[in-house]
Amino acid sequence: MPPGHQWAYPWNAPLPPISRPDISTFDIEEKEKFIGRLLAARSRVAAFPKFIQAPINKRIDDIERSQGIKKANAHLLNHVILRTAPRLELIAEKYKINRDSFVTAELRRDFNNLPDMDSKRRDELAFRIAAYLNMEMSLIADETAGEPPHRVAFETYSRIANIARAFNQVPPGFSSWEKGSLEPDAAISALFRLTSENWWRRRLKRFADLWREHLQIGLGNVSKKTSAYCSRTTQFEWKEQRRRTREFLESMQLEDEEGNRISLIEKYDGSNANPEIRRCEMMTRIRGFENVSLELGYVADFYTLTAPSKYHATTSAGYKNRKWQGSNPADTQRYLCGVWAKIRAKLARDGLPIFGIRVAEPHHDGTPHWHMLIFMRPSDVDAIRLVMRGHAMSEDFEELRSDKAKKARFYVEPIDPDKGSATGYVAKYISKNIDGYALDGEIDADTKEPLKEAALAASAWASRWRIRQFQFIGGAPVSVYRELRRMADTDTAKALDLDFAAVHDAADKGAWGEYVKAQGGPFVKRRELIVSLVYELKEGASEYGEDVKKIFGVQCSHVPGSPIRTRIKEWKIVSKISDEAKATSVLALAFELDLNGAFAPSRSSVNNCTEPQRRVSRNIELQLKSRGETGDPEQVSILIRGGILKTDPGKGLRIANNQLIDVRIGLDVGRVYRASNERDVEKAFNDLGI
């Protein structure tokens, strides 16, 4: 067209040619790298447990909707991948089975999914692991046929324990095994546990609970900004467990040999399981210690011990701590116990006696720290402080560059009697970690929350991580004190021995200070006690064939061979409900819960029994008598709990499908697979490579 040509309509004019944007090879490579980083980031997030993935993905989606895709991608790469992912992967290394393990691929995959499993899937996994170990026992039995029993027991334990360790579990008796002091009978009992489905069910539940809580700590969901001391899930589960335990206790009664019944819930409320009674006893004991110290002319210091920065997941301001190395509260508690062991050893070598109380409580992020009220001679104060400070600050000393940092790690405050008693000083810490008594309206300086509410969270924290919150240092045993308080017959005490009577009288009136002095003072050695406990031994009475030690009573060291029985009656738990179906369901719960709401230990002095169980007991009794056994209640009790009844050396009996079967002790290959359906059987054999 000639220049200046006029088109009839503007849209008739030709458009300029479409040109490619000026994109360099470098820009293309950078874009591809960015896309690769996003894909890799998404892949890392997909490897997290699903309950962790969900809030992360939701947060990314929310940012994308409100601020755009660029901000969402930046959050994923800069926050999730650079800050959160390394913490979660550090935790995973502590719990997951690595690929180099000899555990079968399917079991490894399912075990590594424990945090996302519900109880049904977790129980299925417990069954499959027990089946796997039982099959391994069978193979070992074939390989070691004809060898001496003790050698077979040790060879079997070595191999089975190593498999359990591959599942990140510490096998029973393993510390003794490493020291070379494990006895054959103990090895056999440990094998019964390691091949028990119930044992694995309990272990996996606890392991999964700790794994989930540790992930919540790593994610930052345990802090003053979110949920102090422990996660909201842990608090909810702890409260729910208490509720279920209370319901169980209210539905049951205690029955003695004569058929007399008393309320189980009333006995619970009157025992040390009741937080109020436990708190009162602690206050009595610490007040008694203070009275003893005043009579001796001792002084008191209040110490605070804290772990180095690397043990803290969150800073004091509530932000993620970059120095954190993946420790959980149990790891930190072990560190503090190690420091205290070194302190006590040094004080003992230097002849510096002390007594008092230690309180373990959580920081806002769940990391424990210790408060200690220590009584000592005035002349020893400086030396004891020097020892305590030296050991408390020895690890990572280079980070203690300021007085504030040093005070955060170790702090000592002398107790001034003019300002208040030592008991009053520690009372707040005891109440804060039990039930929050008399703390209405007070605010926690660490979390800024009401101390009354913080007490519940602290109890849930201690329950989840199994941290001993209170420990007395020195003095006479509280177990003897409690047993003497069960003994109401003062005439018998006086007739036995005057020193015994003095100890009994002090315990009977709840005078802890007088009790300690009557027993020999705050530094008395266990072998020098005036009154000690006496135990009775029941051979093979536990469900795993172990000997059970139960308290029989007390004895006076001045009158050997003359124990006084304090537990006169044998009680069993029975249901108040007449309906057989309900009784059966309560029985199942009774086997899972003890009076504190935890899994019932095998050494419980209370037996569980209902009408359906009595019929089973009668059947087992008749079978035992047909085999020449006595069929007494003790033998029946061992078998009905799934234990092994020893008969001849190396031989025993157990129950399978309501029938007695012969087993070789230590080589129990006669266990029956308890699969709920054919799929479970097939899965178990696939795991075993069959």
Helix axes 478-486, 512-519, angle to 10 degrees: 110
Q: Given 429, 481, 515, 544, which residue is catalytic? A: 429
Structural domain that includes position 43: 25-82
Give the mean pLDDT of the chain: 86
| pLDDT 10s digits, 87-129 | 999 999 999 998 877 788 899 999 999 999 999 999 999 999 9
Q: Evaluate if residue 407 carries a pLDDT over 90.
A: yes
CA separation for the pair 519, 527 (Å, rounded): 11
Residues 464 and 339 in one domain: yes
Residues 308 and 444 in one domain: yes
Residues 352 and 422 in one domain: yes
Count of CB atoms within 10 A of residue 325's CB?
Answer: 14
Residue 4 lies in a domain: no
CA separation for the pair 645, 622 (Å, rounded): 15
Q: Following CA atoms 326, 313, 171, 197 in sequence, which dihedral angle do they give, to the nearest 10 degrees? A: -110
Q: Known catalytic residue: 132?
A: no
From the list 621, 594, 614, 615, the residue with the least C-alpha distance to 605 is 594
CA separation for the pair 271, 294 (Å, rounded): 30
Residue 432 lies in a domain: yes
Residues 451 and 547 in one domain: no
Residues 485 and 464 in one domain: no
Distances (CA, A) of 326 to 153, 214, 216: 37, 9, 12
Q: Evaluate if residue 371 carries a pLDDT over 70.
A: yes
CATH number reported for the structural domain that contains residue 436 in this entry: 3.30.70
CA separation for the pair 409, 392 (Å, rounded): 7
Amino acid occupying residue 430: I
Instruction: Let me know if 68 is exposed, middle or buried by CB neighbors in 10 A (0-12, 13-18, 19+).
Output: exposed
- The three-state (H, E, C) secondary structure of 216-281, written as one string: HHHHCCCCCCCCCCCCHHHHHHHHHHHHHHHHHHHCEEEECCCCCEEEHHHHHHCCCCCHHHHHHH
* Tokens of residue 602, six digits: 């095998």
| pLDDT 10s digits, 624-661 | 776 778 878 778 777 776 677 777 766 778 776 567 77
Q: Known catalytic residue: 429?
A: yes
Side-chain half-sphere exposure of 125, counting CA atoms within 13 A:
26
Instruction: Let me know if 270 is exposed, middle or buried by CB neighbors in 10 A (0-12, 13-18, 19+).
Output: exposed
Residue 243 lies in a domain: no
Give how many domains the chain has, as a whole number: 5
Residue 666: pLDDT band with limits 50, 70, 90: very low
From the list 651, 569, 632, 638, the residue with the least C-alpha distance to 602 is 638
Contact 451, 332 (CB under 8 A): no
CA separation for the pair 671, 290 (Å, rounded): 57
CA separation for the pair 530, 476 (Å, rounded): 10
Q: Domain boundary residue among 411, 442, 473? A: 473
Residue 251 lies in a domain: no
Scan for tokens 């019932």, then name that residue: 600
For position 449, what pLDDT does the model report? 83
Report CA torsion sign: 592, 595, 598, 599: negative
Q: Evaluate if residue 68 carries a pLDDT over 70.
A: yes
Residues 456 and 484 in one domain: no
Residues 374 and 456 in one domain: yes
DSSP 207: H
* Rg of the Cα atoms in the chain: 32
Q: Evaluate if residue 616 carries a pLDDT over 70.
A: no
Residue 400 lies in a domain: yes
Q: Chain-centre distance of CA 49, in angstroms? A: 22
Residues 467 and 502 in one domain: no
Q: Given 132, 229, 425, 515, which residue is catalytic? A: 425
Residue 95 lies in a domain: no
Residues 457 and 358 in one domain: yes
Q: Evaluate if residue 685 carries a pLDDT over 80.
A: no
Residues 355 and 433 in one domain: yes
Q: Domain boundary residue among 429, 455, 473? A: 473
Residues 303 and 439 in one domain: yes
| pLDDT 10s digits, 345-369 | 999 999 999 999 999 999 999 999 9
Residue 254 lies in a domain: no
Residue 231 lies in a domain: no
CA separation for the pair 103, 97 (Å, rounded): 8
Q: Evaluate if residue 524 carries a pLDDT over 50.
A: yes
Distances (CA, A) of 159 to 162, 187, 541, 664: 5, 12, 26, 18
From the list 467, 588, 463, 583, the residue with the least C-alpha distance to 123 is 588
Residues 280 and 203 in one domain: no
